[in-house]
Amino acid sequence: MKRSLVVAGSLGVLLLLPPGLFPGQEELLPHHREWLENVSPIMTRTERDIFQKLKTNEEREKFIRFFWRQRDPYPDTEENEFYKEYMDRVRFADQNFGHGTSKRGSQTERGYYYLLLGPPLERHFFTTHSQLWPLELWYYKGEIEYGLPSYFYLIFYQPAGLGEYRLYSPGVEGPEKLIVPGTALRTLTRSSAYQLIKKISSELADASLSYLPGEASLLAPAFSSASLLASIRSVPEKKFSDAYARSYLSYKDHVETEYSHAYIESAFAAKVFWHEEGFFLHWTVEPKKINLIEREGRFQAVYSLILRLEEMDGHLILEKEEEIPLALTAEQARAHSRRTFAFQDILPVIPGRFRVFGLLKNKTAQDFTSFSGDYAVPEKRPAFGPLLLYHSREKVVAAASTSLRAFTFGGNHYLVDAANEFAATEAMGIYVQASSKEELESAAPLSILVEVHPVDSQDIVLSHKKDMSRVGGEDGVGFDAGSFSLASLKPGYYTVEVSLMSGEGKKISSARENFILLTRAEPLLPWVYARVHGPAQASERLSLLSSQYFMTKKYGEAAQLAERAFRLRDEPATRLLYARTLFACGRLKDALEMALPLEEKTRSREAAKIVAASYAGLHDWRKALVYLERLMAEATETSVLNLAAECYLNLGEPEKAMPLLRRSLEVEPNQQDIKALLEEAEKRTRKEAIGSKKLDENPKI
């Protein structure tokens, strides 16, 4: 009796994913544990969270290199000065703070603050005074830029004269905690303890009341000391940028080691807008700087862009990569030297909630930036919104009016910036999508109301109103509410709300967007690089949508779009996509009809997988094995190994299936179905061996 396919049922999806391993969590190596202990004081919460999510030691090694590179004050020099100084702190702490405890000195409380803050300006020892527990008084000059006071104290004491030195808390414990019980002539109070310590050291006595010089008071606990300690513990979050770590899980497989010293922060924004063909994600990323190499009088760089779309649980639905060559004349480079550079593009997207991730690598200068954000695509065109805040707009040439370009609507290209930052003297314009202007005007005498208020208040500080008859709307899917001056506003953070008003003065629909008003007088607008997508690229857009539907398991929609793309342009990519969607829909013969000619012409590995899976689905095991044997000879993929084993089992050849199943489990051990399949194959082999032995013992005459 032939088996039903256990593996091939899901093989259609597996064949469409890039080959590779799906490793489990590798146990931390001892030197990784030690590294984590060493850097704990200077590690941000994000860095810690990301490091703990890494699965392989190779990923951890790469992360560690990034970690130190981001703290290198002079990345152009061979030596990392911060790393050298910090490891000196670790060695000093281990040598001096571990006495009387089983911990390494760097892992004690003194060690924590020594690693985080460095050596104090002064370190006073009080270890031989009979009335005091052994203690140390540290005096620091604070880094004001990270929220610390100009100068402050820390006290570490050894309760009961044994074990580890602990950080003393003026507000919680009080000076009496520093006194050895029984050494005072009367019952200790806060005041008497302070006076006793003052006889030994007035500086220590004042620090026992407050860690801030000049703030000592006996009347009440010094809450400022608790605030100081909280500020000290938050120094890593303020001092060290962990922007590189926030997207590390997404870009770690795409960034080579030589790039690890050159992460560049960037601003990013993405919005979903409707066009005649459907919804498109418009995005812009603005690196803080771009590095160009001068060659023969021109300034050049070649960028590699990797863009990924994922479901909210991290499941990949689309990944595309392209190169972006930049070449500027010397005059252009000088003219735009003070402006940021904005990379902008659009992408057709399917309905749902998703996350976009991007990696932009400068292959010439070997630096990179990453960006990410969430976006939502409605099932149908919204009645109102979203808003697009712009600095200026320009007419596009007539030839480009039928093309698609980021932040371009109705023949106008809108100049935006990712952070929505506006200068105090400029005007802000607003574009908003809604039902067609004709529908709105036929419904009632409508108007547009624009209101601005601070983000932390609902008090309206600026408003103006326009009749719909005075609102521009050339594209049929939105309108330009015009621009208005921001000169009356103070610098700060604001929310602008645009509302569609009825003739009776009621709000029908509203949309909001935040913006920042800067103190800068003149705007510093980005210089935009944006691709133009012409009508000839319709096949590419259909393929992108089909791929997204396919990866979200909406195979019917995927097949319809793939067929349209294929009919527009019969090329290997569209044919392969169409074959995949046909297979996923269970149309195996149609999938073969698409994939076979492609495999014969190009020897495409992906086409061969579809051919093999289709033959297996049709129970033509021998024909499936012709392609599977070739695939296995070229590379090791668990899905291919499993399907080949399945074919051999269905042909009654378990002895050929077992080695394949074992190899598959070596690569990916946690395959429960494959373990069960191997047990069945071994059982069948033993049964056949027993039957063969009986025949040998009782031959027929």
Q: Could you give the percent of the chain with pLDDT greater than 90?
A: 57
Q: Is the pLDDT of residue 12 over 60?
A: no
Last residue of a domain, one of 204, 237, 270: 237
Q: Name the range with the highest mean pLDDT among 108-117, 174-183, 245-254.
A: 108-117
Question: How would DSSP label each residue in 326-376?
Answer: EEEEHHHHHHTTTS-EEEEEEEE--SEEEEEEEEEEETTTTEEEEEEEEEE
Q: How confident is residue 47, by pLDDT bands cut at 50, 70 and 90?
A: very high
- From 39-48, 92-101, 389-398, 573-582, the region with the lowest mean pLDDT: 389-398
pLDDT at res. 9:
46
What are 500-548's pLDDT values in tens digits? 888 788 888 899 999 999 988 776 789 999 999 887 679 999 999 999 9
Whether 443 shows a pLDDT value over 60: the answer reads no
We report the CATH number of the domain holding residue 431 as 2.60.40.2550
654 cis-preceded (ω within 30 degrees of 0): no
Question: What was the pLDDT predicted at 20?
Answer: 40
Residue with the bigger pLDDT between 189 and 456: it is 456
Flag whether pLDDT at 640 surpasses 90: yes
Q: Are residues 42 and 95 in the same domain?
A: yes
Mean pLDDT of 261-289: 90
Mean pLDDT of 674-683: 90
Q: What is the pLDDT of residues 207-242, one digit of tens each?
A: 999 999 988 676 655 558 888 999 999 999 999 888
Q: Is 448 in the same domain as 393?
A: no
- Would you say residue 655 lies in a domain? yes
The reply to whether 445 and 410 lie within a common domain is: no
Identify the band that residue 265 occupies on the pLDDT scale cut at 50, 70 and 90: confident
SS3 labels along 20-52:
CCCCCCCCCCHHHHHHHHHHHHHCCHHHHHHHH
Domain identity same for 162 and 181: yes
Residue 695: band (very low, low, confident or very high) from pLDDT cuts 50, 70, 90: low
Asked if residue 244 belongs to a domain, the reply is: no
Give the per-residue pLDDT at 277. 74
What local confidence, expressed as pLDDT, does residue 441 receive?
Answer: 53
The DSSP letter of residue 609 is: H
Q: Which of 481, 498, 524 is the last residue of a domain?
A: 524
* CATH number for position 370: 2.60.40.1940
Residue 261 has what pLDDT?
60
Are the CB atoms for 665 and 675 separated by under 8 Å? yes
User: Cα separation of 193 and 24, whole Å?
Assistant: 58
Q: Per-residue pLDDT averaged across 469-482, rounded?
A: 70
Tell me, yes or no, whether 548 lies in a domain. Answer: yes
Q: Are residues 371 and 291 in the same domain?
A: yes
**Residues 520, 584 within the same domain:** no
Alpha-carbon separation of residue 128 from 31, 125, 131, 161, 170 (angstroms): 39, 9, 9, 11, 22
Check whether 351 has a pLDDT greater than 80.
yes
If one compares 279 and 160, the residue with the highest pLDDT of the two is 279
Q: What is the pLDDT of residue 14?
A: 45
The angle, 0 to 180 degrees and rounded to 10, between the axes of the packed helices 638-650 and 672-697 is 30
- Whose structure tokens read 């609102």? 471
**Stronger pLDDT, 12 or 144, i.e. the higher one:** 144
Please tell me which residue, 550 or 500, carries the higher pLDDT value.
550
Query: Residue 440 above 90 pLDDT?
Result: no
| 437 in any annotated domain | yes
Judged against a pLDDT cut of 60, whether residue 474 lies above it is answered with no
Domain end call among 511, 533, 555: 533
Q: What are phi and psi of 29, to 5 degrees?
A: -75, 155
Same domain, 330 and 403: yes
Mean confidence (pLDDT) of the chain: 87
23 occurs within a structural domain? no
Question: 191 and 43, same structural domain?
Answer: yes
219 belongs to a structural domain: yes
- Number of domains composing the chain: 4
* Residue 460 pLDDT exceeds 90: yes
User: Per residue in 302-337, pLDDT tens?
Assistant: 999 999 999 998 899 999 999 999 998 888 888 777
Please state whether the predicted TM-score (pTM) of the whole model is above 0.85.
Answer: no
Are 80 and 162 within one domain? yes
For residue range 69-89, what is the model confidence (pLDDT) as tens digits?
Answer: 889 888 778 889 999 999 999
Task: Collect all residues with Cβ–Cβ distance below 8 Å to 539 and sequence separation of at least 6.
Answer: 565, 568, 569, 574
CATH classification of the domain holding 657: 1.25.40.10
Query: Residue 118's closest CA among 160, 77, 146, 158?
Result: 146
- The answer to whether residues 117 and 225 belong to one domain is yes
The arithmetic mean of pLDDT across residues 58-67, rounded, is 89
- 425: phi then psi, degrees, rounded to nearest 5: -100, -5
Concatenating the DSSP letter of every residue in 641-655 gives HHHHHHHHHHTT-HH
Section 609-628 average pLDDT: 96
Q: Are residues 274 and 423 in the same domain?
A: no
> What is the reported pLDDT for 456?
92
**Do residues 450 and 479 make contact, with C-beta atoms less than 8 angstroms apart?**
no
Is 396 among the domain residues?
A: yes
Query: Both 466 and 559 in a single domain?
Result: no
Asked whether residue 42 is assigned to any structural domain, the reply reads yes
Q: What is the pLDDT of residue 118?
A: 96
DSSP for 539-554, written as a single string: HHHHHHHHHHHHHTT-
pLDDT for position 332: 86
- 5 has pLDDT over 60: no
Domain limits for position 461 = 419-524
Q: Please give the average per-residue pLDDT across 266-281, as a whole number.
A: 91
